[in-house]
Amino acid sequence: MTREKPKNLWLSRWGFILAATGSAVGLGNIWKFPYITGEYGGGAFVLMYLACILAIGIPVMMTEIALGRRGRGSPIDAIARVVRENGSNPLWRGVGLMAMLAGFMILCFYVVVAGWAFAYTWKMLDGSLAATSVEALGQVFEQHNANPWLLGGWSVLVALLTLWIVAKGVQKGIENSVRWMMPGLALMLLILVGYAFTSGSFSEGFAFLFSFDASKLTGEALLAALGHAFFTLSLASGAILTYGSYIPDGQSIARTTFMVAIADTCVALLAGLAIFPVIFANGMSPAAGPGLIFMSLPLAFQQMPFGTAFGVLFFAMVSIAALTSAISMIEATVAYLNEKYGISRVKAAIGSGAVLLVISLLAMLSFNLLSGWTPLGKNFFDWLDYLTSRWMMPLGGIFMVVLAGYALRGEIMRDELNLPPAGYALWLFMVRYVSPVLIMIVFLHALGWLGFDPLVRWYWIAGAIGLLAILGELFAPRVRLVLANR
């Protein structure tokens, strides 16, 4: 069977690595990772997070890239082609549809948080953050959100920038912008860590992130780490799969995956090293929750030498990180409209941008005019977050590993991944047994079917993996046949 020719390819070997790192490194690393680490008590959480990146993040990312490159297209079409090659049921492309929708839905609320980062860069400069207490800064944050025009204006600005870059194309838009934004981001981060090192309580921050306290290894923390591993690596949301479809044939998927995962993890840890020393130097709590970088941090900066300048640098860095993630969330949709219906990228960006603005408007209004509208106990913003990270991403992840590990003939992935035998065997073991069990645990917990703590004990997990391994080895060929012939 002839393979689909790629319509777009990254210009340089670094194209994918920079773009995928840009996608992975975002608010998840700089906003969410520090505050959940703060909430779950530091080092033990960091360790679980690293384990999840290794056990789920890396195998699933390799799978997604391989599916994207094999099928050469946006998620729906790429998966459709791969299953056609395999002779499996075309309904598998629903997994691609779900991923594409997830990316789009994430963008609808991500623009709001990214808008905060953009607005705070500005606020740091114009003096509106010159308050003297965390409470007063909390009020600044509330007032910003209570004003739909202000909140909406900044979010719309982020959306427009995102659409503009994506409309310009894979090479001229995405690759060109990540080529300078990613090194810039790395430089800003290193400067900020240097600042924390010299002006903050660096050793206290360091100890908080890396000292290990076994009593903090709880089920809840493991769940948070699992969920976050998906989000932070942009998995099951169409982003990595679509970017993967632009990788030239000879490039090693395993090596690129490791580079992206390591870069993403380093940024999360360095962001922690930039933030916590500053928080501790001012005697603040690391467990301040989602407001950590918007309420505690600006105040801490103000009390330090050259704090304003470093505060501006910090929020500018968050803004860039958010922008390079945002473009990856809508790329799948734009690529789909472009490839499938021949709509130009500009028109596809305008069309999907119109839908984006309408839906994200509801997310913006969740903080003010529509804050009372909470069907089933959540406002619209929280619904988008909940549906995507609790349901769509884990479900998409399960389907992808089942597709790659059980339904596809071995040679398709073996050929695409092109690993030495031991590496391939390890990947297969992970996607067949380890990743599905771990993802299933997150998923069942989200459904409220697991009360938890005892289940997190390692022997439960080991037992479940062992059982699945035996069943899998016994039934994988049968499963493949059934999935292929339906």
Which lies closer to ligand PHE via its Cβ, residue 397 or residue 405? 397
DSSP state at residue 434: I
Residue found under tokens 């603005």:
357
343, 439, 461 from 244: Cα distances, Å? 21, 22, 31
282 binds ligand PHE (CB under 6 A): no
Which lies closer to ligand PHE via its Cβ, residue 26 or residue 38? 26
Which of 200, 216, 224 is CA-nearest to residue 272? 200
Candidate segments 14-22, 27-35, 193-201, 418-426, binder of ligand PHE by CB under 6 A: 27-35
257 binds ligand PHE (CB under 6 A): no
By CB under 6 A, the count of residues binding ligand PHE is: 16
234 binds ligand PHE (CB under 6 A): yes
439 binds ligand PHE (CB under 6 A): no
Q: Are 112 and 381 in contact (CB under 8 A)?
A: yes
Longest dimension (CA), the chain: 68
Please, what is the minimum distance in Å from the beta carbon of residue 177 to ligand PHE? 15
Please, what is the minimum distance in Å from the beta carbon of residue 190 to ligand PHE? 19
Instruction: For residue 219, count CB atoms less than 10 angstroms from its CB and return exposed for 0-12, middle for 13-18, buried for 19 or more.
Output: middle
CA–centroid distance for 139 within its chain: 29
Which lies closer to ligand PHE via its Cβ, residue 28 or residue 244? 28
338 binds ligand PHE (CB under 6 A): no
Residue 380 and residue 192: Cα distance in Å, rounded? 35
Please, what is the minimum distance in Å from the beta carbon of residue 175 to ligand PHE? 17
Which lies closer to ligand PHE via its Cβ, residue 23 or residue 177? 23
Q: In which element (H, E) is residue 413 found?
A: helix 410-417
23 binds ligand PHE (CB under 6 A): yes
Binding mask 289-328 for ligand PHE (x = CB under 6 A): ------------------------------------x--x
Q: Are 301 and 307 in contact (CB under 8 A)?
A: yes
Candidate segments 203-211, 217-225, 231-239, 416-424, binder of ligand PHE by CB under 6 A: 231-239
Enter the tokens of residue 472: 């899998």
Please, what is the minimum distance in Å from the beta carbon of residue 29 to ligand PHE? 5
Out of 10, 16, 20, 28, which residue is the one contacting ligand PHE (CB under 6 A)?
Answer: 28
Please, what is the minimum distance in Å from the beta carbon of residue 23 to ligand PHE? 5
74 binds ligand PHE (CB under 6 A): no
Q: Are 103 and 329 in contact (CB under 8 A)?
A: yes
241 binds ligand PHE (CB under 6 A): no
CA-based angle 231:235:241, to the nearest 5?
150
Candidate segments 25-33, 209-217, 345-353, 361-369, binder of ligand PHE by CB under 6 A: 25-33
Residue 114 and residue 322: Cα distance in Å, rounded? 6
Out of 18, 19, 27, 108, which residue is the one contacting ligand PHE (CB under 6 A)?
Answer: 27
394 binds ligand PHE (CB under 6 A): no
- Contacts (Cβ under 8 Å, ≥6 apart) of 436: 398, 401, 402, 405, 468
61 binds ligand PHE (CB under 6 A): no
Which of 255, 306, 250, 252 is CA-nearest to residue 278? 306
Residue found under tokens 């989200």:
446
Residue found under tokens 């500018």:
316
- The footprint of ligand PHE (CB under 6 A) covers 23-24, 26-29, 103, 106, 231-232, 234, 237, 239, 325, 328-329
